[in-house]
Amino acid sequence: SPQQHQQHQHQQQQQPRSDLSLGCQLLGMNCADPTEFALSWPSFCERGGLTDVHADGWGLAYYQGSSLRQFHDVEAASSSALAQFLGTQPIETRNMLAHIRYATAGEVDLANVHPFSREMWGIN
């Protein structure tokens, strides 16, 4: 919601940014058989703002069959309704990549939330 986004921006302004080069954090999965990632997802989301400083957005990409599914949000993963909803779904995939962001450079904006995708030769 716009109110939650404003609260997040206010919290972000209050949190001191260090000179440390903290990278974003990733969760990846590559399996021979379709596997449900819901067991790892809640703990990863907690690191996105609750138990760690990576509260500047999150993203998830996975293949469902041959189709790419992507979800992105500027809210902290730990408080994002979308992230929590996805954690309740029985999503099975062979390939998944998730990202939680700590904005050391660039705005807190969907344009800066990974994973990015591109199309080449008509293939995602």
Q: Annotated catalytic residue: which of 3, 14, 18, 24?
A: 24
Reference 92, options 68, 69, 72, 64; nearest CA is 64
Please provide the DSSP assignment of 27-80 as one string: EEEEEEEEEE-TTTHHHHHHHBTTSSB--S-EEEEEEETTEEEEEEESS-TTT-
CA–CA separation, 33 vs 77, rounded Å?
27
Does the annotation count 31 as an active-site position? no
Tell the residue number behind the tokens 């209050």, with chain if given.
14
Catalytic residues: 24
